[in-house]
Structure 1
Amino acid sequence: MSVFTALAHEGKWLFRNQRSVVLIAAMVLGVDVALGLIHVVVMVGWDAPNVLRVDMDGSYGEAYQYVKYLWVVVLLAMFAVARRSWSVVAWIPLFLYFFVDDAFMVHEIVGFVYAMQPWAFGIGPIGPQSFGELAVSGVALLVFATPIVIAYVKADARTRLIHRTLVLLVATLLVFAVLVDIVHSFFLDIRLLDRSLGFIEDFGEMVVLSLVVVYLVRINVDAKRLPAAIADPIRRSRRTQPAFGAS
């Protein structure tokens, strides 16, 4: 069975016969939608105060992101303890870095310092500051992804699917955090595009991180049973084992 088929199975399994997970998803994502609607309404009417804009530092939206990062770390730790599956703990440093970077603007500050150097350079349309920010993010991702790769290689087939699902979610998060951010940097002088891309970037990050929280809640619901996964066809044994969440 292909990776994409397994991930599709995981998506269907996420809410199957799980009213509690559906309710949690509705609450977590509902706050995102409410904050997004407030942002749109107040931005249409007037220049909203920063605290009501999801794309501004110090806003309610940013504070909610910090809370979700805390939830992610706690849920990963709880699953590891309940299942005695320490493989997933490898994700905690990466999410902690995301929190620190978001809260203290690590890659923005380093990118700015780099751009101020007389020898700083960019690549093509990417200016020195954007290039510096990308370099910092790339190095950080390499450092924090290394233990995840090691954990994945050593994990059983079912835990590997948890890793794959988290990779898909984090990759989507990075699309908004990195790629949309780069596109946004090209249109800072065009007010409408600046505001629109800023909203897409930060609201997209909010929704994806909420999906990470919901997924981790789901695997914790069945933490005492086998993790949700389709056995790796390469390693699958002849003995059929029950899937995570199966009755």
Structure 2
Amino acid sequence: MVLKLCGLFLLTDISFILLHLIYVYSGLTDNSNFSLEKDRGYSEIFQYVKQYWSTLLLGFLSIQKRSFLYFIWSLLFFYLLVDDAIQIHERLGALISIKFSFSAMFNLRAVDFGELAVSALVGLFFLIAIAITYRLGDRLPRQVSRYLTILLFALAFFGIVVDMLHIMFLNSFLEPLLTIVEDGGELVVMSLIVCFVFSLSLQSKKLIE
């Protein structure tokens, strides 16, 4: 069941990437919601759904297993959901870049450095919280956390590192490729995360039964 679900998620991700290519290069449609870069476009809404279910399932697991470690992971994905929906790091990043008079460099705007600062601070907060609760957690939540940490770094690679490269190479021949790598990579990694979390919920249900 999990493999089928994961296959459907990944197939949907690939479909969104193909729709993006059709929108950008074919001229067959002018509906910008097909673009991977569109805020609240079809692919981003699909990403919201995955983040929502990751938050919900980890929250249920935290209650069921009485695990504060699962609860922290649930909060993290809730933050990612809210951040994507209302652009927390973009808004705070703009304020911070003005407050501390950040300068543009390396083809990055001052606001980009503000966004990096916000992402770094939030990431550090959650990593510290996970590290503390990891030491107090049971064997299974700790094992799960190791896998989720790897997936989280993969998500950060596409969402932060590739995003910055995308900005640095705007209006270059690399921009279309970096758009697909950045947004498509985030879609795929988030699909792997929600499927992994779903498999944990199924295993937990079987153990109870």
TM-score normalised per structure 2: 0.88
Over 3 Å counting, the alpha-carbon distance change for 1:186 and 1:123 in structure 2 is closer
Spell out the pairing of 1:106-117 with structure 2 (5 A cutoff).
106-116=88-98
Correspondence list, 1:220-235, <5 A: 220-224=201-205
| Distance across 1 between alignment mates of 2:158 and 2:91 | 19
- 2:124 aligned partner: 142
Residue of 59, 67, 71 corresponding to 1:77:
59
> 8 Å contact 1:88–1:151 — kept in the other structure?
no
Offset at residue 83 of structure 1 (A): 3.1
CA distance in 2, matches of 1:60, 1:124: 32
Structure 2 residues without counterparts, runs of 5 or longer: none
Structure-2 residue corresponding to 1:23: 4
Deviation (angstroms), 1:211: 0.4
- Measure how far apart 1:147 and its partner are: 2.1
* CA separation of 1:123 and 1:155: change in aligned 2, threshold 3 A: farther
Q: Report the counterpart of residue 191 of structure 2 in structure 1.
A: 210
Alpha-carbon displacement from aligned partner over 1:199-234 (angstroms, at most 9, x marks no partner): 2111111110110011011111111577xxxxxxxx
What is the aligned counterpart of 1:100 among 72, 75, 82?
A: 82
Deviations 1:15-40 (A, max 9, x none): xxxxx111111122221111111111
Identify, as 1 or 2, the structure richer in helix.
2
1:156 is aligned to 2:141: no
Note if contact 2:106-2:168 (Cα within 8 Å) is conserved in structure 1.
no
Equivalent pair of 1:123/1:131 in contact (CA under 8 Å):
no
The structure with more radius of gyration? 1
In the alignment of these two chains, the number of paired residues is 206
Q: Structure 1 residue 48: deviation in Å?
A: 4.4
Aligned identity (percent) is 32
Give the alignment of 1:3-22 within 5 angstroms: 20-22=1-3
Among candidates 29, 40, 50, match of residue 32 of structure 2: 50
**How far has the Cα of 1:102 moved from its partner?**
1.0
What is the CA-CA distance between 1:186 and the residue it aligns to? Answer: 0.8
Matched, 1:120 2:102: yes
Query: Which position in structure 2 is the counterpart of 1:13?
Result: none
Structure 1 residue aligned with 2:50, among 65, 68, 79?
Answer: 68
- 8 Å CA contact 1:82–1:224 kept in 2: the answer is no
1:176 alignment counterpart: 158
Letter in 1 for 2:85: A
AA of the residue aligned to 1:219: L
1:176-212 residue CA offsets vs partner (Å, 9 max, x unmatched): 000001111111122x422321221111111101100
How far apart in 2 are the matches of 1:117 and 1:83? 43
Residue deviations 1:96-140 (CA, integer Å, cap 9, x gap): 111121111222223333444583235666542221111011111
Contact 1:50 1:57 in 2 (8 A): no
User: Residues 179 and 23 from structure 1, CA distance in 2 versus in 1: closer, same or farther, beyond 3 angstroms?
Assistant: same
TM-score (norm 1): 0.76
Where 1:64 maps in the other structure, the secondary structure is helix
Unmatched 5+ residue regions in structure 1? 1-19, 227-247
Structure 1 equivalent of residue 149 of structure 2: 167
Q: Which amino acid aligns with 1:183?
A: L
Q: Report the 3-state secondary structure (helix = DSSP H, G, I; strand = E; otherwise coil) of the residue aligned with 1:119.
A: coil
Tell me the residue number matched to 2:115. 133
Q: Do the aligned residues in 2 keep the contact of 1:94 with 1:145 (CA within 8 Å)? A: no
